[in-house]
Chains A and B, each alone.
Chain A
Amino acid sequence: DTGVSQDPRHKITKRGQNVTFRCDPISEHNRLYWYRQTLGQGPEFLTYFQNEAQLEKSRLLSDRFSAERPKGSFSTLEIQRTEQGDSAMYLCASSLAGLDEQYFGPGTRLTVT
């Protein structure tokens, strides 16, 4: 399968714990995006990378959130000291370049208890 993959698919954690998600984009894609989706809503932008450079972060991304894309390949999204409000689906997408069609991964569903 050469699509976008995400790991894990589901994560249940207790409030205050740290979690890390991984996204593997389509291999030749330079752009990688993270979005968050809560129930009944459309996704919201969190951050994006052009190769290894993180070019923009949403105001939604508090200091507890950090994302990396070392070597411009896979990306990780870490949430420190999780809160119940962090419960959501975290979606990763990739594209060849800006303004190109984006291809989405299956998402990681986070539940904070």
Chain B
Amino acid sequence: KNEVEQSPQNLTAQEGEFITINCSYSVGISALHWLQQHPGGGIVSLFMLSSGKKKHGRLIATINIQEKHSSLHITASHPRDSAVYICAVYLRETSGSRLTFGEGTQLTVNP
């Protein structure tokens, strides 16, 4: 079983819809990254958080440390949001030496 699980694996939405992508992890973490990967491979860091909530434009990320769960929300989705969204964590047991990744959520936003 992967230490980081994402759901859903695939998500199709209509432009303008509110989108939620979930990430659950099974062990203690120091921090969590939400990343965006476009076709061609480039990965962009969206957020890094260890508690509470962060907002950047139409993107909101929340984390509940006790429940070992994080969500990424996209408000007023747009076709340019179509990408793979990846949750990655710094496991406490590795003391921040590297990230452990979920398998990603493929988001497609149709016009």
Shortest distance between the CB of A33 and any CB in chain B (Å): 6
Contact call A33/B31, Cβ cutoff below 8 A: no
What are the residues of chain B within 8 A of A43 when measuring CB–CB?
43, 86, 88, 99, 101
CB distance from A21 to the nearest CB of B (A): 13
With A104-B44, A104-B45 known, 18 other A-B pairs at CB within 8 A are A35-B101, A40-B103, A41-B103, A41-B104, A42-B103, A43-B88, A45-B99, A55-B97, A91-B41, A98-B96, A98-B97, A100-B48, A101-B48, A102-B99, A104-B43, A105-B42, A106-B40, A109-B41
What is the interface of chain B mostly: helix, strand, loop, or mixed?
Answer: strand
Interface residues on B, range: 20 to 34
Residues of B that sit less than 8 Å from A by CB: 4, 30-31, 33, 35, 40-45, 48, 86, 88, 90, 95-104
Interchain residue pairs with CB less than 8 A apart (6): A40-B103, A42-B4, A43-B86, A45-B98, A99-B96, A100-B48
Interface residues of A (CB under 8 A from B): 33, 35, 37, 40-45, 48, 55-56, 89, 91, 93, 98-107, 109
Query: In the complex, what residue of chain A is closest to B4 when comparing beta carbons?
Result: A42
Closest partner residue, chain A, to B106 (CB atom): A40
Do A99 and B31 contact each other (CB < 8 Å), given the known contacts A56-B97, A104-B44, A107-B41?
yes
Q: A102 vs B30: C-alpha distance in the bound complex, in angstroms? A: 14
